[in-house]
Amino acid sequence: MRSSRFLVLLCALLTTLGSVTHAQELIDRRNQPRREQRAPQNISLDDAVRMAQSRYRAKAVRAETVNNGGRRVHQIRLLSAEGKVWMVRVDAETGAMY
């Protein structure tokens, strides 16, 4: 009888300690400094062309890298199957397409 009470008490104590430890981990994570939203990727011109062709389902007819306000930007001219031509820009550092 005494040993079964001891086991029940021990199980309850271990369960409580596990919850406290988990709560402490959550608190610690909240206090950590935020990381940058996007780590620099340094997208190559070839990668940027592949990204643009895939996203817009069009053929790249011209591509070049230019300096735009101190940032490298890949400019890609695309041609759709319908004959529409337009320019897409890809930030060489982040990969953001606009």
Q: Is the pLDDT of residue 39 over 80?
A: no
- Give the tens place of pLDDT for each residue, 59-69: 999 999 999 99
| Spatial distance between the Cα atoms of 98 and 87, rounded to a whole number of angstroms | 9
The overall longest dimension of the chain from CA atoms, in Å, is 86
> What is the pLDDT of the chain when averaged over all its residues?
82
pTM above 0.75, yes or no: no
pLDDT at 1: 66
